[in-house]
A and B are shown apart, each in its own frame.
Chain A
Amino acid sequence: MKSERSILLIVTMSFVLLASNLLNFTVSTNKFSESYPSTVCAPNISGLSTAISLTPAQIQFRKTGTKSMKTKTIKVSRYAVASQSAIFESEQVTPVVWQTRKGVWAGAIACSAPSTSQWFIGATADITSKGSLNLVNSGLGKALVSVSIFTEKGSLSPQEFIVKANSYKSIPLVSLAPGSKKIAIHVEPKSGRVNAFVIDERGKGLKALGGDLVNPSSDPAKILEIPAIPQQVKKKTAKPHTLRLFVPGDISARISAEIRSTDGTFSPLGINARVIPHQKVIEIPMDFKMKSGKFALIIKSDQPILGSVFSKTFVQGKSDFVWSTSAPALRDFTLATSGLSPTLVFTGKSVRVTLEILSGKGNTRLVNIRGEDIATYKVSDTTRSVRFTKIARGVSGAALISSKSGYGYLPLAPGSVLTKSSIPTSNISVLNP
């Protein structure tokens, strides 16, 4: 009798527990929306030419300067913008802006999704400066943007700018920090869909000294990787480089540096163990010549730090300069390269990247990049896009682009990443603390 009861109890409890666990799946009614935010490209301001590299696929786009959010479809591999800023629904493809002042300078920057914080380590606001900070508001509501400027003397009071709906505002750098030679800019939109772009254009009287689009840096980090710094080794008049650093925190940073090149890896003189004072923009000359055409610079710091390298370039008889900014770890994305033919530079202890190269004819071929410390790959003229896949850990990259007008640098980072947002559901508990 007792054993019957035991069996009955054990069987019943086991069955209930087993059945309950099998049936214990909650039908989640949470809804999520996955999308690539639209990317916003640098505006074409007066006197410049802007061409945006795209893939041949159909892309929805619109421009600022209108009151409508309506998009149009285009199917071109390169789009020339006459004015304003272009906004693309380019999904996983990152369009690239190639901006030039004909015969004077050139620069490259990726179109990117609006951001709530952007750092620019580069440009000058001294007497030679003809550059500007361009704030693009791609939303239909007005935007309030806070701009903080840091100079060699310290920080300046933040300034706030209102940018009208679906428009851009160009602010001369000299008006932000008059007379400052070394500047760093922090753009923080308080409201609105805002992208910032910095043009560093210089001239002395009528003499043009070149220009570049300063790419935004990643957030301050203890390790900076600047994957590609161009070195004009074949020219007798190879120009030196200048490292610009900025410690945004409240504690000064002690840094060390490592240069990776095809010539080898070494620590440059005059940088290691150097203390970088906080809240001041510091420049360190890098007076060395590398045999190879490009090299990478890795900076390690005990405090979060930002930095970039200013390099003078000389291409096709044209002097220019370029700002090589830090790049985040490389991730899977597609870079539109139509008409750019960039040189891709990858750095890392062990470089392992597979490139899916889409040609103009629509063919795709795979290229495996393998190397130690640094590896380069020159993309052909006919290539429309390059997708980076199968990326080893710790690899970052940048693209160097040259043209008749000048030299450009582009960190390899997606302009827009897949964003998963929860679709709100009606739930009264949101009104309960």
Chain B
Amino acid sequence: MSSQRVTAILVVHDGSTWLAEVVASIASQVRKADQIFAIDTGSIDSSAKLLKGARIPVATIDREVGFGAAVAYAVSQLPAAIENSQAVDNQEWLWILHDDCVLHPNALQSLLQATVDRPNVVMAGPKLLGWHNRTHLIELGVSIASNGARWTGLEPSEYDQGQHDGIHEVLSVSTAGALIRRDVFEELGGFDQNLELFRDDVDFGWRVRVAGHAVIAVSDAIGYHAQASANERRSVDVKGAFLHRPLLLDRRNAAYVLLANSSLFALPWLTLQLLSGALVRATGYLFAKLPGYASDELLAIGSLFLHPAELLEARKSRKKHRLISPRVIKNFIPSRTSQLRASISRVASELRTRILPDTTPQESHVLSDLEINEDEDLLTPISHASWKTIFYRPMVVAATIVAVISVAWARHRLGSLSGGALTKSPESFRDLINLYVSSWHEVGMGSGESAPVWVLITGLASILTFGNTHVFITLLFLFAPFVILVSAHRYFKKFTENGWLAAGASLLYALSPITIAAINSGRLGVLVLLALLPYFIRQIYQWIEVDKWSWRGIFGHSLFLGLLAAFNPSIFAILIGAVLLSILRDLRKSPLGYRDPFFQKRIYRRLTLLLVPFLLGAPGSFGLLRHPTRMFLEIGISIPGGGPNLAIMANPGGPGSLPWWCISPITAVLILSYFSTTAARRFATPGIVFLLLGTIASVISVPGNGTTLNVQVFAGTFIGLATLFSIASGVVMFDKIKQRLQQSNVNFRHISVAAVLILTLGYSATAVFWLVTAGSNSPVQSSQNGILPAYLSVEKSAKTLVIRSYEQDSERTLGYYISRGGDITLGQADVVPEDTEVISRAVEGLIDNTGVTSSKVFSTYGIKYIFLKKPLIDEIVQTIDGLGGFSRSSSTKAGIVWKVNNPTGRLIHTDYAGTVTILESKGVKTFIPSPGTLTLTENFSNGWRVYQDGFRSARIKDQNQLPTFEVTNAGEITVFHDGTLRRAWISFFIITLIATIVLALPGGRRKREISERELA
């Protein structure tokens, strides 16, 4: 061993921070290097001075020279290699040293020792640990993943417990502390000088391997590496580092290494992986608000592909030195499984850290030996709680109560749900997404309205149930009380240490009148609101001092408000009111008026909180400006509320809601806590405001979705807020009430507490009784028969006018709508077109016996059938029978069907002789028998297009307001609705959403911003 000669080459570049320690470590090596030579690449700090002080010979070269060139220069300055240096006992080694890597005194000795019995080893590297935290493993050998990532096989900041110790065959080792046999180094041409910094180690190791040699990592040799260039602790000044960006250089070099060394067959796949990987990472950096890094990713790939000659040259050179099959490195490249496993492990670890943060104190007191009683551990009994105690936990008890009640309450809701405000779910989540993206909806006479965002959210959420929307909606309604219970508990437990009080309050919220009404009448929006409100409500207290919110918080809450408003348009009404009132208040309090910077700070934030949700809901939200009353509508079918007298009792009323005699304690608690001296009043005041607003709102009647009838507003949002505030105030008020009452004589407090308790018990008893009896027979039920008989559903393209009687305002009344071969499904009620007056009049004629021309009108608009659903009204049957123009198709237990006698369909062709033909279409294609006009029996829209032979046919709106096209030749035509505008809106939504998410997400940090401690 003693015959082995070692030349240490220390490359220095602005490394004064670490250099003193590095030099000391070189000097303190047990096996000293035979020769030390330092190359200073134009350092502008005191590095050169330090080296001279340490009496290390230094050669200074240009500042832009890369690492490989610097080492090559050093080697060229060395005396000629020893003759016959390949003999084990006569080898000459180069020990490559970085100015930011300290070596353990045994490092060189251990490295040399490891090579003694391994004559094929030409490169050996130490185990690299962190500079700051010297227990964290950085590398023990290095490789490259197929996407260009530097692969160490270690977890991030993995603690070194010797778990990887030993001598391992690796693809390569870091150049920091690497021992390389000089003859091989020179034979292979040293480090590739195209790789001026970064990845030159992997490249060299790869070349060594295919040249038939071996590379090992030796854990007995230890180095502590600061990775100063990679961690942006110093500037990267090499010539190839465009804009001095280390990440760009690293990524470019990674791609270079892969493309220069891999086999020809692997290149297409690798190129694809590199491109897609760069795109994904760039997107990730954009989300982390690091556009510089994102551009580095893309520029790196771009700059490499701009110089293909470099790559070709590199491949040629490698081919020259390749002695064995390139497959030899296969074992050292991490498989995709390994990469995936590592990614999952990293994500899981990240989640675990966030969900279950380490609560153990970081610094523990050091105990003196005198304080330690070793027997104490043995004397302390080990606590073994019985498994039965789980049932004594308040939330378990509350959840059990909900479960028991739900068994009876939800007994008619096990299956595909519909009824009330909830329409049938489509078969697949794809139908919902189609509804969202489509520019034209086949609802009624057809609609070009934009589908609201909640349709998309529900569709995407259905992926959780493998795309089955039925199952998703059923589970949502089935488990809604549990979800609401848990979310409320997260909120209430912050106000009390009494678990039973928090659980009881959550139970009351989960079974409050508003929750019951929302579930029973199928109000999806209100359910979402009730479940999410407890997460959001905390921030409302800081609404006044909005200036204290960070912009990230503002965008985060805007996103959340956007989500709530997507499901509950009335959130906009509350937001507008709150913003306007707050602005007026701020203005009044600002000494400088609107010029006051403080006022401006607040107004910008408040307007952002209003505008972002508004933009996220576009273009539907713009419709609210034209019809502000629509802010008070629920999503889905409009079902009336119960009016002010129920609303003031925090019961929204309407179908499926609790009867008046189930009096909840919500209002009583609000009133009591309003007079409380505790903090409960802070909750009671907004609670009362929302309760009164709900009472006022419940008086308003507005035209509902898809109907010309006025519907009494369901004040669910207001009452939901009032309920949450009421229960929160109750929790605050009743927290530790027992002790307070025990300490005082009997007074009004005792009486009021008793009254609330009695009211709560009374409500619990009556509500539960109602829920398990009449309450289970709610408007929302499973397996309800469809409206249309099956035989009408077969003809999907045919329009059927459905007339049905129903009860409204205690009157038996009739409603009608045009069906497109089936019942209405989720989301369609929100995109319904406006009423067509001509059809309304024709339907009126069916009832009042004046509709002699009704059948003609129906055929004009493509209505093929009339279906009168049971229960039948005999007079109407007789009238339709008597009017003429209709022939009865069937009379079944479902109802009576008449066929309109005149032929009709979706596409009506009239030739110049006036002959009418009904055209059948296959998708968007149809065949025109002769020149003439083509009438599309859909509502007119500027998006309707007919193309024939590549030319667009002229479109007019005919006297019936239907789109009609002039077709000049016989032959095939294409009829479709142009969705460019819709696509533009979707793009706008995506851009707004991504921008808001990016602004709401925590920003990533550049490496130079990360502390040394975190970097290890």
The chain A residues found within 8 Å of chain B, CB to CB, are: 2, 5-6, 9, 12-13, 16-17, 19-21, 23-24, 26-31, 33, 35, 37, 69, 114, 116, 138-144, 165, 189-193, 419, 421-433
Say yes or no: A141 contacts B888, CB within 8 Å.
yes
The verdict on A26 contacting B712 (CB below 8 Å), with A139-B882, A191-B877 known, is yes
Say yes or no: A433 contacts B787, CB within 8 Å.
yes
Say yes or no: A20 contacts B699, CB within 8 Å.
yes
Say yes or no: B637 contacts A69, CB within 8 Å.
no
Across the A-B interface, the 4 shortest Cβ-Cβ residue pairs = A140-B884, A139-B882, A428-B706, A20-B644
B875 on the A face (CB < 8 A): yes
Closest to B706 in A: A428
Q: Which residues of A contact B804 (CB under 8 A)?
A: 430
The docked-state distance in angstroms from the alpha carbon of A138 to that of B883 is: 9
Say yes or no: B878 contacts A116, CB within 8 Å.
yes
Say yes or no: B696 contacts A16, CB within 8 Å.
yes
Report the minimum CB–CB distance from B843 to chain A (whole Å).
5
Query: 8 Å CB contacts to A: which residues of B832-872?
Result: 832, 835, 840, 843-844, 846-849, 852, 869
Q: Which residues of B contact A30 (CB under 8 A)?
A: 709, 808-809, 811, 813
Taking a contact as CB atoms closer than 8 A, the residue among B645, B786, B832, B896 that contacts A428 in the complex is: B832
Say yes or no: A9 contacts B875, CB within 8 Å.
no
Say yes or no: B847 contacts A424, CB within 8 Å.
yes
Report the minimum CB–CB distance from B416 to chain A (whole Å).
10
Say yes or no: A428 contacts B808, CB within 8 Å.
no
Closest to B840 in A: A426
The docked-state distance in angstroms from the alpha carbon of A433 to that of B675 is: 47
Extra contacts besides A190-B891, A421-B876 (18): CB < 8 Å: A20-B695, A20-B696, A20-B699, A26-B701, A31-B844, A35-B848, A69-B884, A140-B885, A424-B844, A425-B707, A427-B704, A427-B816, A428-B707, A429-B707, A431-B817, A433-B418, A433-B424, A433-B786
Q: Which residues of A contact B809 (CB under 8 A)?
A: 26, 28, 30
Say yes or no: B882 contacts A419, CB within 8 Å.
no
Taking a contact as CB atoms closer than 8 A, the residue among B639, B696, B706, B874 that contacts A426 in the complex is: B706
Report the minimum CB–CB distance from A9 to chain B (whole Å).
6
Report the minimum CB–CB distance from B992 to chain A (whole Å).
30
Say yes or no: B806 contacts A16, CB within 8 Å.
no
The docked-state distance in angstroms from the alpha carbon of A429 to that of B655 is: 14
The verdict on A421 contacting B829 (CB below 8 Å), with A27-B701, A433-B784 known, is no
Report the minimum CB–CB distance from B729 to chain A (whole Å).
14
Say yes or no: A26 contacts B710, CB within 8 Å.
yes
The docked-state distance in angstroms from the alpha carbon of A2 to that of B891 is: 70
Taking a contact as CB atoms closer than 8 A, the residue among A9, A28, A430 that contacts B817 in the complex is: A430
Q: Which residues of A contact B846 (CB under 8 A)?
A: 424
B476 on the A face (CB < 8 A): no
The docked-state distance in angstroms from the alpha carbon of A222 to that of B698 is: 49
Closest to B644 in A: A20
The docked-state distance in angstroms from the alpha carbon of A16 to that of B694 is: 10
The verdict on A424 contacting B692 (CB below 8 Å), with A24-B643, A192-B881 known, is no
The docked-state distance in angstroms from the alpha carbon of A116 to that of B819 is: 29
Report the minimum CB–CB distance from B229 to chain A (whole Å).
66
Say yes or no: B710 contacts A423, CB within 8 Å.
no
Taking a contact as CB atoms closer than 8 A, the residue among A2, A37, A425 that contacts B675 in the complex is: A2
Taking a contact as CB atoms closer than 8 A, the residue among A5, A19, A29, A190 that contacts B674 in the complex is: A5
Closest to B813 in A: A422
Taking a contact as CB atoms closer than 8 A, the residue among A69, A142, A421 that contacts B873 in the complex is: A421
10 contacting pairs across A/B (C-beta < 8 A): A9-B674, A20-B647, A20-B695, A139-B882, A140-B885, A425-B707, A426-B706, A430-B803, A430-B815, A432-B637
Q: Tell me the interface secondary structure of chain A in the complex.
A: mixed
Taking a contact as CB atoms closer than 8 A, the residue among A13, A193, A431 that contacts B882 in the complex is: A193
B399 on the A face (CB < 8 A): no
The verdict on A422 contacting B675 (CB below 8 Å), with A16-B696, A141-B886, A433-B823 known, is no
B814 on the A face (CB < 8 A): yes
Say yes or no: A116 contacts B874, CB within 8 Å.
yes
Say yes or no: A425 contacts B708, CB within 8 Å.
yes
Taking a contact as CB atoms closer than 8 A, the residue among B644, B710, B802 that contacts A431 in the complex is: B802
The docked-state distance in angstroms from the alpha carbon of A189 to that of B811 is: 28
The docked-state distance in angstroms from the alpha carbon of A129 to that of B245 is: 115
Closest to B785 in A: A433
B671 on the A face (CB < 8 A): yes
Report the minimum CB–CB distance from B879 to chain A (whole Å).
8
Say yes or no: B814 contacts A423, CB within 8 Å.
yes
B568 on the A face (CB < 8 A): no
Q: Which residues of A contact B852 (CB under 8 A)?
A: 69
Q: Which residues of A contact B462 (CB under 8 A)?
A: none
The verdict on A423 contacting B882 (CB below 8 Å), with A13-B692, A26-B701, A428-B444 known, is no
Closest to B783 in A: A433
The verdict on A430 contacting B806 (CB below 8 Å), with A191-B888, A421-B876, A424-B816 known, is yes
Closest to A70 in B: B852
Say yes or no: A139 contacts B878, CB within 8 Å.
yes
Say yes or no: B644 contacts A29, CB within 8 Å.
no
Report the minimum CB–CB distance from A71 to chain B (whole Å).
11
Taking a contact as CB atoms closer than 8 A, the residue among A29, A419, A428 that contacts B705 in the complex is: A428
Say yes or no: B883 contacts A24, CB within 8 Å.
no
B805 on the A face (CB < 8 A): yes
Closest to B874 in A: A116
B933 on the A face (CB < 8 A): no
Taking a contact as CB atoms closer than 8 A, the residue among A16, A421, A429 that contacts B706 in the complex is: A429
Report the minimum CB–CB distance from A344 to chain B (whole Å).
30
Instruction: Return the CB mask of B253-288 against A: 1 if under 8 Å, else 0.
Output: 000000000000000000000000000000000000
Say yes or no: B787 contacts A432, CB within 8 Å.
yes
The docked-state distance in angstroms from the alpha carbon of A33 to that of B840 is: 14
The docked-state distance in angstroms from the alpha carbon of A143 to that of B887 is: 10
The docked-state distance in angstroms from the alpha carbon of A428 to that of B884 is: 26
B553 on the A face (CB < 8 A): no
Q: Which residues of A contact B444 (CB under 8 A)?
A: 426, 428
Q: Which residues of A contact B699 (CB under 8 A)?
A: 20, 23-24
Q: Which residues of A contact B785 (CB under 8 A)?
A: 433
Say yes or no: A193 contacts B878, CB within 8 Å.
yes
Report the minimum CB–CB distance from B652 to chain A (whole Å).
14
Q: Which residues of A contact B835 (CB under 8 A)?
A: 426
The docked-state distance in angstroms from the alpha carbon of A177 to that of B48 is: 130
Q: Which residues of A contact B819 (CB under 8 A)?
A: 431
B798 on the A face (CB < 8 A): no
Closest to A431 in B: B824
Q: Which residues of A contact B869 (CB under 8 A)?
A: 430
B123 on the A face (CB < 8 A): no
Say yes or no: A425 contacts B709, CB within 8 Å.
yes
Closest to A423 in B: B844
Q: Which residues of A contact B424 (CB under 8 A)?
A: 432-433
The docked-state distance in angstroms from the alpha carbon of A31 to that of B424 is: 29
Say yes or no: B696 contacts A424, CB within 8 Å.
no
The verdict on A425 contacting B814 (CB below 8 Å), with A20-B699, A28-B710, A69-B884 known, is yes
The docked-state distance in angstroms from the alpha carbon of A141 to that of B824 is: 31
Q: Which residues of B contact A423 (CB under 8 A)?
A: 814, 844, 847-848
Report the minimum CB–CB distance from A321 to chain B (whole Å).
33
B327 on the A face (CB < 8 A): no
The docked-state distance in angstroms from the alpha carbon of A421 to that of B808 is: 14
- Pick the most buried of B423, B639, B869: most chain A CB atoms within 10 A of its CB: B423
B812 on the A face (CB < 8 A): yes
Q: Which residues of B contact A422 (CB under 8 A)?
A: 805, 811-814, 847
Report the minimum CB–CB distance from B718 to chain A (whole Å).
12
Q: Which residues of A contact B891 (CB under 8 A)?
A: 190-191
Q: Which residues of B contact A69 (CB under 8 A)?
A: 852, 883-884
B659 on the A face (CB < 8 A): no
The docked-state distance in angstroms from the alpha carbon of A24 to that of B644 is: 8
B579 on the A face (CB < 8 A): no
Q: Which residues of B contact A21 (CB under 8 A)?
A: 644-645
B648 on the A face (CB < 8 A): yes
Say yes or no: B644 contacts A17, CB within 8 Å.
yes
The docked-state distance in angstroms from the alpha carbon of A7 to that of B81 is: 103
Q: Which residues of A contact B879 (CB under 8 A)?
A: 193
Say yes or no: A431 contacts B813, CB within 8 Å.
no
